[in-house]
Amino acid sequence: MDYQCLLAGRSAIVTGGAGSVGRAVALLYATHGANVVILDEDETEVEKTVKDLREINQKCSGFAGNLRDPESIAQLCDYAINALGTADILVNAAGSYLPGDAETLEEDDFIAMLDKNVNSTIRFTKAIIPYMCDNRQGDIINITSDLATASMPGTAGIAACAGAIVAFTRNVTMDYIRYRVRANCIVYPFDGIEGRRPLTGAPGPEDVANAALWYACKMSRFIIGDMLPVNGGMDYFAGMRGE
């Protein structure tokens, strides 16, 4: 295995690829030899990231569209498949976070979060998975919040979304591993939420990108339906911090 070029010649689609984490993933994938297409909402941001990607690999491209709309997502997937020819890797990094507890969370905010986080993950997976099945190989990486496993006040919506994505990931693996399509997810502190974290300092986008690289390549080929927390051990304190 060439560890310097772990994704040589593979085709990767990164949703939310113009955001901080998605962008880091796309750039690292390109460095490792992948042809990358990023899909995101803001056209200017997409163009900026594509420019940087093309400095690494000319075959990279990006498209902008509404990630809350099923038709727009289907269109984006068509663009991506046209550009790449096929799809070997799908990274669902698109997401948004709006605060609120069960009482104060606005209906519109909750629906928006469901659309951006959960529905987009399911819709992109649904559109791309037939290509992976035809190829008899594929790697899906879903990136979401670590509120899937431990909680903090005022984050009801995103916690529910994250939990849904983790469960969905396991189920995709269950259904498609027979076609050698793996799915794993990465959870990390969303939007720079500060919390009790044993390792000093918050993880950066590049830490999540390295985990996404590991899940996309053969290094992790026996690991399926798993969830990797990239959060400096945030969940492991019981109660107050000891000496």
Partner 1 sequence: MKYNRLLEGKVAVITSGAHGMGKHVSVWYARHGAICFINGRDPSGVETGEMLNEISPGSCFIRCDMSKREDVESFIRQVLERTDRIDNITNVVGINRSDLTDQVDDERFEYTQQVNLYGIMRLARGFWPSLKKTRGNIILISTIHSGATFGKNSAYASSKSATNAFARALAVEGAQYGIRANVVCPGGIYSSRQQERYFELRDDIEKLTDIGMRGEGGHPDYGSGSSNDIANACLFLASDMAAHVTGAAIMSDGGATFQSHKFRDFRTPSDYRDLWREFMLDRYEL
CA dihedral 167, 172, 173, 177 (to 10 degrees): 170
Q: How far is the CB of 111 from partner 1 (least distance, A)?
A: 29
Q: How many CA atoms lie within 13 A of 40 on its CB side?
A: 28
Among 37, 203, 205, 216, binds partner 1 (CB under 8 A): 203
Of 102 and 219, which CB lies nearer to partner 1 in the complex structure? 219
Site for partner 1, residues 9 to 68, rule: CB under 8 A? 32
Give the pair of three-digit tokens for residue 217. Answer: 């390549």
Residue 214 interacts with partner 1 (CB under 8 A): yes or no = yes
Q: How far apart are CA 132 and CA 28, in angstroms?
A: 22
Whole-angstrom distance, CA of residue 200 vs CA of residue 194: 11
CB of 213 to partner 1, least distance (A): 7
- Compare residues 46 and 209 and give the one whose CB is closer to partner 1: 209
Restricting to residues 73-112, name those near partner 1 by CB under 8 A: none
Residue 32 or 123: which CB sits closer to partner 1?
A: 32
Is 194 one of the binding residues for partner 1 (CB under 8 A)?
Answer: no
- 222 binding partner 1? (CB under 8 A): yes
Residue with smaller CB distance to partner 1, 95 or 229: 229
Site of tokens 């992109």? 124
Q: Which residue has the tokens 């690494």?
A: 56
Report the distance separating Cα 67 and Cα 74, nearest Å.
Answer: 10
Distance of alpha carbon 10 from alpha carbon 185, whole angstroms: 19
From 50-58, 82-90, 104-112, 168-176, span contacting partner 1 (CB under 8 A): 168-176
**Minimum CB distance to partner 1, residue 85 (Å):** 22
- Please state the closest distance from residue 197 (CB atom) to partner 1, in A: 8
Q: What is the C-alpha to C-alpha distance for residues 179 and 8, in angstroms, rounded to an integer?
A: 21
**Residue 37 in contact with residue 14, Cβ under 8 Å?**
yes
Q: Which is nearer to partner 1, 109 or 207 (CB)?
A: 207
Neighbours of 138 (CB within 10 A): 23
Of 71, 107, 194, 200, the one binding partner 1 (CB under 8 A) is 200
Residues 6+ positions from 204 with CB-CB distance below 8 Å = 24
Pick from 180, 195, 205, 240 the residue near partner 1 by CB under 8 A: 180
- Contact indicator for 128, 13 with CB cutoff of 8 Å: yes
Contact residues for partner 1 (CB under 8 A)?
2-4, 6, 32, 133, 136, 170, 173-175, 177-180, 197-200, 203-204, 207, 210-211, 213-214, 218-226, 228-233, 235-237, 242
